[in-house]
Structure 1
């Protein structure tokens, strides 16, 4: 008699396990509902967009939903995983704040000259941009950029619009137009010039405008002050219409003609005083004031340098309360430029 063999065989002779070998405590893992939360945060852990929850079968391949977020660039990943396994903490995609390079838009005529200042478009990295031609010159447009739209990147991008027109046109002005400076202002040798002349026009001086031109694509007007001297309307200036009369006519009209000879202006003389003494011009050595043949009349090429001594014969006050000094050489200057 030997030991009884409890092994059972199937009717085909195959050995089988008894039913109690598989314990009820052991179960096969067959999840198909694993959820992973993906967070998009900055370097401080703050959400910069809404988290995304992805679902998949247990151990299936996991594709992280990367996002392109304007103004940010992906810098690192925390809790990275490639398959769906339970992860209560979730996956963190960490983004660093990043500035983009500008998009520069040029507007040129067919000769290649700029007709407006370049436009600098700024925006967050990966944000969309859309460039446009100048509205006031759209009907002159002959060529546009191949791609007027795009996204801001780390690289400077350039766009160019070309128009078939002249950059300036004649602008009609009153023949009695004068320009008064409300600050020391720049002047230029020609319209559209970007480089001012070395000398500025002093504050408070008045200059006759002989002609003017206007930029085609904006409201900037360039006034010619004689010769190769131009001043744009963008400077600190004030326009005045001063009607001029002949010296003879003014002397006939003025009740004080005997005391104010050779003055041609539309204002009346309300007072005058003899001075007969030498005074200094109140400006720096490299600045000049304008000489007038008559107050608000014709200007002259004569200039007086700052610090220069001049001899004042008399001062004359007009009914607009301006005060003028008559010099011994026959010219007039506004008294505010002299240390009277």
Structure 2
């Protein structure tokens, strides 16, 4: 008798049995290699609205789906949902529905709570970023902004508020004997809040009488009026001081716009001047005379000018009552309306 051949068989776990020495080709051996799952982000029509993401993990490990916020869309359903890494050739589909966001309303108010412009309505895709801005023309008067001027559009209405002081200056009380003293050549302006200075400056080490003052309400800067349309802010190189006056003549203002007109009456201040330096004629009848003044509206003199007479004018000086005076070469003043300038 021949020798009996011993047969081996495998169990369903891959162990050898007495029947076969080889594995059945119908049995697939599962390995613990990495499993790849593709996650798709699609709209309700199945079209991609974001780039797919491939995630990788070990077989049967926990699977965390990479959720995404997509502007203009909200997640509505999930296809082929799974919580562990098991082979899935179709992948996972996150289906998003399009959705409009609620608006962001921006209010611009004054300090009394009244609107100074129509509300602004900002609209955009859901979850998209927004950014609000103050009014460009009123930015200088801004006193309050939202704690956070930007954010994301959501399904709920959001509100932002900007507050402006549209009356940026208020009256500022001063002492009647108040002067400003310069510690440098100081720029002056024709009105408060103006950013462009006048051509002439206040010389270093000079003192100028203050006639009135206003204060910026949002930063406290004080603007001092030195007569007419001449203003200097407290941010310049100046100091204030009180000078007690002993006579009316000591209250005379040496205008920074016409320093050569040294004897202008203290009653008015100079707001502008113009060099002339030419001979002109008195426009009056020959039998009439024009009075000469030592200072405009100051002291009259016995000096008279006859109609038709030629006089030499050094400059014209305008006072804050808008009268215009001619300063003559001989030091006297007459009103320009009597001259053929």
> TM-score, length-normalised on structure 1?
0.42
Structure showing greater radius of gyration is: 2
Larger strand share, 1 or 2: 2
